[in-house]
Structure 1
Amino acid sequence: GEFNTMGISGLFSFDSMPDEKNSSVYACYLNQDGLSLPNRDYYFDDSFKEIRAQYINHIKNMFILYGFDDKTSENMGNTVLKIETSLALKSRSPVELRDPDKNYNRFQFNDIEKEFPGLRHREYFSKIGLTGLDYIIIGQPEFFRDLDSIIQQYTLDDWKIYMKWNVLNSAAPFLFGDVEMEHFDFFQRKLLGQQLPAKRWKKAVSIIDSFMGEALGKIYVEKQFGEDSKRRMDDMIEDLKEVFIERINNLSWMGRETKEKALEKFSKFRAKVGYPSKYIDYSSIKISQDRLFENIINCNKFELERETKRIGKPVDKELWEMTPPTVNAYFSPTDNEIVFPAGILQPPFFDPEMDDAVNYGATGATIAHEISHGFDDEGRKYDLNGNLNDWWTPEDDKAFTEKAQSVVDLYNSIEALPGIHVNGALTLGENIADIGGVSIAFEALERRLKKNPELRKVIDGYTPEQRFFMGWAQSWRTNVKDEALKWQILNDVHSPEKIRAEIPAYVNPNFQHTFTGLSNNNLKYREIIIW
């Protein structure tokens, strides 16, 4: 518990988020944790045998740098791997962790001791300064039930080694050069294929963005963000909303009762663009110019206190989950909203100097992607108020599941690396959103061109429709090492960027006609577009 206040991980993680069955208040969440390798498969799969050997050697090197002798450090590495393997054995897989229903398990506070004797929850919550809890939401109850036997499986000295490792591992990126490079060598070079560390200024910006991101964001917005970009985004969002409403009304596979509830949910949807209406106040954090890791601890203590204090209180709808400079966007199911930070409103995602066709292909499709998340295999389980609530008829639920399975099958068939296929189940939500996003944005562009025929121009030899698909593809340009690609396929809910650029265009019935003049009559792929 004391380590958690400093941002140092342990056997499980704490979070405060909107209660997914009462989204108007913040609730306490506990989830499985305790692994330093990316997920449970790395501890058992034969293809990671070499990674496990390198991991033990990395732990050994870290303890040698800390001051232990060679043999003791090697034994410590073996101990850490044994404990983490025991935790991994009881952990859910990345695919299982995508199910919001199975991850919502509410327990009354007074029942926790009986349900999970190994948790010692009263001591834990006392350490993190959290009192007066009525209930806790536990993501993976079977993991917490097994903690007691795992704790008894190892000696107190073993657990001290494990916790020492967690402290060293958390601190390593912020310590002196030898430790920082040892950490980089394993977690970035061996796991992800990155050959050189980021430049010092990039690391500095990244650290500030991670720990005091809204302070950095305020400066970024003042210097880099134009209100003209925000106005064009707002116009695009309205165009896309109009198409999405019509799509819901015209769905052949969804019944009227579910359609009415879907439209009611969408009527409550909102979009945030650029930056929050108010910024987090970091002024109480003590920052010293010569104590980097102490600054990190102070920031983590501030954040944990901010989160513990809000549990049981009304949700602040103006808070953001991303910082303004972030090059990304998200959909929040409990808030029923999409958020586009200022950082993503720059080329190649958005360019105020470009015509609508390019921006509808890149940013417009991304906006529609985020809108679609409210109705993907996870988002569809939340109602208009952001609560986990089954609002679908059994018939429509069955029809959606069948169509979603065709998306799973398509992406499962794609070989991203020799012998390694995309995990269609893990990436399902993002793939549905990609395919739907491109389809909705293309129709929104066509409507805009019809209303404003003067915008239909051939530029650099390309029609608006061609520029649309090129805009989408350009937004996913990337260079990626094979190691990082393998990591992504096993851990990330997003398909690799190259596949994201290609497949949503390929299955779109307008794509072939746009570039060849021929119709794409492949009904199988047309049916994959769910929304």
Structure 2
Amino acid sequence: MRKFALFAATAALALGAPVVAATKKPVKRVAATAAANKPTYGSFGFDTAGMDRSVAPGQDFGRFANGGYYKTLEIPADRANYGMFTKLRDLSQERTRIIIENAAKTKHAPGSDGQKVGDFYASFIDEAAIEAKGLTPLAPRLAEIAAIGDRTALARMMGDMNRDGTDVPIGVGPLQDLKNPEIYTVIVGQGGLGLPDRDYYLDDKNPKFADIRTKYQAYIADLLRMGGVTDPAAAKAVYDLEVQIAKAHWTKVESRQLDKIYNPVSRTALPNKYKGVDWTALLTAAGVNGQPELTVANPSAIEGIGKLVETVPLDTWKAYLTFHTLDRWAPLLPKAFVDRKFAFSGTVLSGTPQNQPRWKRAVDATSASLGEAAGKLYVATYFKPAAKAKADELVKNIVSAMDARLSKLEWMDPKTRVEARAKLAVFTAKIGYPDKWRDYSKFDVVRGDALGNAMRSARFEYQREVDKIGKPIDRSEWGMTPMTVNAYANPLWNEIVFPAAILQPPFFDPNADDAVNYGGIGAVIGHEITHHFDDQGRKFDKRGTLSEWWTKEDVKRFTALTDKVVKQYAAYEPLPGLHVNGELTLGENMADLAGITIAYDAYRKSLNGKPARVIDGYTGDQRFFLGFAQVWRQKYRDAALLQQTTTDPHTAGFLRPNVVRNIDAWYAAFPSKRGEALYLSPAERIRVW
């Protein structure tokens, strides 16, 4: 099953006169002191050639900082979007490829990490062997589905499919108990849609969704035909079933309310409360039937899905499970399946013209299955101790800046402020890579068995999670590999995590000007820190327990501020007629606002009261805000932008520099005037932290 994610990581995330002429006072041009090593971008760590000075900063700061880059940027044919995140991901892929291909060419001891990494990759790359086997490796699973003869067998199959990561209507798996984070519980949640979100089925206002629905039904029909299903009515029945599942689903806005998804129910009460499902069969097959209590994340959705399990004809369910099995494993099947899946998921849903080269897909698949095995070699080669030390220093400075903000926060009750600072004081920051690497000894990899390796990987990871039940929490674990260009906040562990691959230019460059680093990775660090105090993160106390530790008045004043954030972002229109969902993106937008605020405080404090140098005509504050804007360079295909705006809690990258309109210091660095698109009067600027 897909892992139940409580918090999204930072994801893609993403003027006429020269800058100096726009400032209130003339600045003296001072040559930068020659650094021992030149920064990757420009003279101080920022790509000034990628600016567009014909755009006023107050009109569109992102285009002012990045417009030249956008004019020349062509999205690669195998990408749905492209920018700083994707550029670094390409670099990470290429570096990881070298590591993995060396493993594939080298003789390793059987059962060693090197053997597993090399053989997994070599098996994925061997298209001829995959083609020769056809559907034979998947035949046992398809036969099991075809043999389903009653509702108990149906429930058993759904439970077992959780083990191999197939997205079925009832997702089951282990998760820390939100109100007792020292133990693991079992969570039950909604799933089972082949399209990205319920809106793709139910929104009749956007004609793009109607076109996608038509093409999705054709995709279902083709995959079933290729899988041997001869009933001409099967595809329509599968689609109609998914429409009913979609109607039962909670919206993404509803699902991100963490207090609403905490619904404990005893194992004995489960069948009476959520009828229509043979829970003993489902939970036993999923390996989690022995737990006295479970948490149901989306109660009304599970009730609705239960009715469908009970009433929809078994032949329809069998066709549905067959389709989702073929869709799940298509990347490991012969080329006809690979191409048909990409034609829909890649081209129709994301607008991507070409699939990635086989080696890229093989690197990603190997990294997903054996990421920490490859990660050990990655950090040894590409992540230097000096970079880790400087990142550690940045984190400490930004945590200190957040503490200073909390200490004098006027809208928060004094007692709550004390608790908030106590939460911050026990923060954990993980930088670069784990202290303890994952053990893959129970995961068998067989050269030449690409599909089998992938299936065993999914089951190994699922069982690894199940085995945690009843054992102490291991807080040394990581949720991302070192090669991942991303970061995340985990409220249950009160931690922030920054893999090695994101600690690179333009986010972080040891040779760049400090202002640029604080504006780049500093704002990302601030973003993740403040996730622990956003509209959902604030619901967890310093122990990582879901609890209401704020006063009612705190919540009321806070909500008045967050309502302004929702309204501000809902006005943005990434595509004609398509607005940002301010409620869905609230947590990420708040983290952007707070992150840049405290990163700026930390930067100013780092100057120790001394004025910042002017480098190539840019003041320190200007360099800070330019550094921030550059990391959010991102260009999208329309289909990808539709999907991002509909389903993703992150606002599209090219809009994210707009947050500067709420920062007083930005107006001093890049004076904006009334009438410009980003201008807000001092009273209109949103100040949360």
Q: Which amino acid aligns with 2:460?
A: F
Match of 1:475 among 627, 631, 639: 631
Match of 2:681 among 513, 522, 530: 522
Q: Distance in 2 between matches of 1:434 and 1:121?
A: 42
2:647 is matched with: 491
2:432 is matched with: 274
Q: Distance in 1 between matches of 2:369 and 2:617?
A: 47
Q: Distance in 2 between matches of 1:58 and 1:109?
A: 39
Shift of 1:443: 1.3
Distance 1:93 1:122, change over 3 A: same
SS in 2 for 1:505: helix
Q: Which amino acid aligns with 1:102?
A: K
Q: Distance in 2 between matches of 1:338 and 1:302?
A: 26
CA deviation vs aligned residue, 1:498-526 (integer Å, no higher than 9, x gap): 1112x222221111211349998822343
Q: Distance in 1 between matches of 2:165 and 2:467?
A: 17
CA deviation vs aligned residue, 1:69-100 (integer Å, no higher than 9, x gap): 5xx3x422101111111111110001111100
1:508–1:525 contact (8 Å) kept in structure 2? no
Answering whether residue 604 of structure 2 is matched by residue 446 of structure 1, we say yes
Q: Distance in 1 between matches of 2:603 and 2:403?
A: 15
Q: Distance in 2 between matches of 1:141 and 1:219?
A: 44
2:279 is matched with: 121
Match of 1:390 among 539, 542, 548: 548
SS in 1 for 2:192: coil
Q: Which runs of 5+ in 2 are unaligned?
A: 1-158
Distance 1:122 1:262, change over 3 A: same
1:430 is matched with: 588
SS in 2 for 1:524: coil
2:223 is matched with: 62
SS in 1 for 2:255: helix
2:559 is matched with: 401
Q: Distance in 2 between matches of 1:192 and 1:300?
A: 25
Q: Which amino acid aligns with 1:514?
A: A
CA deviation vs aligned residue, 1:244-265 (integer Å, no higher than 9, x gap): 1111111121121211111111
Bigger Rg over Cα:
2
Q: Distance in 2 between matches of 1:28 and 1:491?
A: 25
1:512 is matched with: 667
Q: Distance in 1 between matches of 2:433 and 2:485?
A: 13
2:186–2:288 contact (8 Å) kept in structure 1? no
1:180 is matched with: 338
CA deviation vs aligned residue, 1:376-426 (integer Å, no higher than 9, x gap): 000001111111100111111100000000000000111111011111000
CA deviation vs aligned residue, 1:450-509 (integer Å, no higher than 9, x gap): 3566xx3222322221111111111111221111111111100000001112x2222211
1:53 is matched with: 214
Mapping for residues 10-49 of structure 1, pairs under 5 Å = 10-46=168-204, 47=206, 48-49=209-210
Q: Distance in 1 between matches of 2:625 and 2:484?
A: 24
Q: Which amino acid aligns with 1:244?
A: M
SS in 2 for 1:510: helix
1:315 is matched with: 473
Match of 2:618 among 435, 456, 462: 462
Q: Which amino acid aligns with 1:24?
A: E
Q: Distance in 2 between matches of 1:318 and 1:498?
A: 35
Match of 2:496 among 314, 324, 338: 338
Distance 1:518 1:143, change over 3 A: closer
SS in 1 for 2:288: coil
Answering whether residue 263 of structure 2 is matched by residue 105 of structure 1, we say yes
Shift of 1:322: 1.1
Mapping for residues 162-181 of structure 1, pairs under 5 Å = 162-181=320-339
Answering whether residue 572 of structure 2 is matched by residue 414 of structure 1, we say yes
1:509–1:521 contact (8 Å) kept in structure 2? no
SS in 1 for 2:186: strand
Q: Which amino acid aligns with 2:534?
A: D
Q: Distance in 1 between matches of 2:350 and 2:494?
A: 34
Q: Distance in 2 between matches of 1:393 and 1:223?
A: 49
Shift of 1:444: 0.8
Q: Which amino acid aligns with 1:320?
A: W
Shift of 1:25: 1.2
Shift of 1:186: 0.5
Shift of 1:203: 0.9
Q: Which amino acid aligns with 1:168?
A: L
- Bigger mean CA deviation after superposition, 148-157 or 252-261: 148-157
1:500 is matched with: 656
SS in 1 for 2:172: strand
Distance 1:222 1:478, change over 3 A: same
- Aligned-CA RMSD value: 1.6
TM-score scaled by structure 1? Answer: 0.96
Distance 1:473 1:517, change over 3 A: closer
How many residue pairs align between the two structures? 524
Distance 1:198 1:521, change over 3 A: closer
Distance 1:336 1:250, change over 3 A: same
Q: Distance in 2 between matches of 1:362 and 1:38?
A: 31
1:29–1:137 contact (8 Å) kept in structure 2? yes
- Bigger mean CA deviation after superposition, 489-498 or 313-322: 313-322
Mapping for residues 150-161 of structure 1, pairs under 5 Å = 150-161=308-319
Q: Which amino acid aligns with 2:282?
A: Y
Shift of 1:191: 0.7
- Bigger mean CA deviation after superposition, 215-224 or 426-435: 215-224
Q: Distance in 2 between matches of 1:529 and 1:296?
A: 48
Q: Distance in 2 between matches of 1:134 and 1:243?
A: 44
Q: Distance in 2 between matches of 1:515 and 1:393?
A: 38
Q: Percent identity?
A: 38
Q: Which amino acid aligns with 1:308?
A: V
Answering whether residue 494 of structure 2 is matched by residue 374 of structure 1, we say no
CA deviation vs aligned residue, 1:97-126 (integer Å, no higher than 9, x gap): 110011010011121122123232211222
Q: Distance in 1 between matches of 2:165 and 2:437?
A: 22
Mapping for residues 230-379 of structure 1, pairs under 5 Å = 230-379=388-537
CA deviation vs aligned residue, 1:353-393 (integer Å, no higher than 9, x gap): 21211110000000000011010000001111111100111
Shift of 1:331: 0.6
Mapping for residues 212-223 of structure 1, pairs under 5 Å = 212-223=370-381
TM-score scaled by structure 2? Answer: 0.74
Q: Distance in 1 between matches of 2:296 and 2:379?
A: 38
